[in-house]
Structure 1
Amino acid sequence: MAQVTKAEATVANRLNSPLLRLPAELRNLIYHYALGNSTVILAAHHDRLCTYQHDTPAFPLLAVCTQIHAEAALFLYSLNTFDIASDYTLRVFLATMPMKYVQAIKTLDIGTWVVADKETICAANLQRFTGLEKKQ
């Protein structure tokens, strides 16, 4: 059986996928609906990040193909609230997550951590979340 190159697979996906045949504007509406309005709870254990959702959005959609991931990944970060369980989780998240995703996050819930110098730690790390919106 012949190997399929990434470029060939991309073209085949674009031609055969009902989703990818839609105009980009419609795909963006679908991504917005499927990937938004959730709370993603982040926790870290042994330098590994774990995610949990209060409700079950269509996160597996991002694993369908490279094109869908490229088009839709920022929706996941910009349309959801990220609940970060601890300062340790925040540090692991910032160390492992590409900066474009960190900067896309608009809503962050850091709860009430028990840390000796919480304000200093938070201020330094939260400056990296350039997309945060102030709550009314």
Structure 2
Amino acid sequence: MTESRLPTSPEMTEETATFWQAANEGRLLVKHCLGSGRAFHPPRNISPFTGLAETEWRDASGTGVIYSFSVMRRHEAEHCIAYVQLSEGPIILSALTDCNFDRVEIGQLVRVVFVPTANGQMVPMFTPEAEG
């Protein structure tokens, strides 16, 4: 990836700092509601299920399926944004990388990979699982 094609650096907040620090370690984290036992994304301190600040970070498997996607082709650049439903349940907005965008399909199995931004912050993206 050339520097002009590197992903945009995320804006880190107090609620998301742990998520981005884990990404730099090659780990995908999701928040879990302690009251309902359900995972959720995007990360926040208050559970969307109970409205309580009873949440904790847990490591995610890093696997999921493509829920929806859109391929954009402008000039010489291609980009594919995708909603990925993680194996833990939540749907995360990300991008696909290291694949042929013409062969992407809804329901396709994917796994997380971490890609550096211009400032070095790693961001989670997804790539299709090898077939066969």
TM-score (norm 1): 0.26
Bigger radius of gyration among the two? 1
TM-score (norm 2): 0.26
Higher relative contact order (CA 8 A, sep 6+): 2
Q: Which has the higher helix share?
A: 1
Structure holding more strand per residue: 2
